Amino acid sequence: MNIHFDIDNFLKTPRVVLFGMLGVFIALTIIYLAILLLSKIFKNKKKKDSGATEE
């Protein structure tokens, strides 16, 4: 392959760059929200239990 500037090829990429980064952010934001939700639903009971025993 000869290295050369290929503007036509380059002009196809902004959509991939934009939607690619957007896609990664969307996926990770959803995982973030899922972790928050899971952490809220399944709080660590260990501390509470040990607290109860102490009481």
Partner 1 sequence: MADIFSNVLEIRWEMVLMWVIGGVLIWLAIAKDMEPTLLLPMGFGAILANLPTSGAITQVINGKTEEGVLDVLFNAGIANELFPLLLFIGIGAMIDFGPLLSNPKMLLFGAAAQFGIFFTFALAALLGFDLKDAASIGIIGAADGPTSIFVANYFNSNYIGAIIVAAYSYMALVPIIQPPVIRLFTTKKERLIRMPYEQKEVSATVRILFPIVTTMIVGILAPRSVALVGFLMFGNLLRECKVLRILSESAQKELANLVTILLGITIASKMRYDLFVKVDTLVIILLGLVAFVFDTIGGVLFAKLLNLFVKKKINPMVGAAGISAFPMSSRVVHKMGLKEDPTNFLLMHAAGANVAGQIASVVAGGVMIALVEKLI
Q: Which residues bind partner 1 (CB under 8 A)?
A: 1-7, 9-10, 12-17, 19-21, 23-32, 34-36, 38-39, 42-47
Q: What is d(CA 42, CA 48) in angstroms, rounded to the nearest whole number?
A: 13
- Give whichever of 14 and 54 is closer to partner 1, judged by the CB atom: 14
Q: What is the dihedral of CA 8, 14, 20, 21, to 10 degrees?
A: 150
The least distance separating partner 1 from the CB of residue 55, rounded to whole angstroms, comes to 19
- Closest separation in Å from C-beta 47 to partner 1: 6
Give the CA radius of gyration of the chain.
24
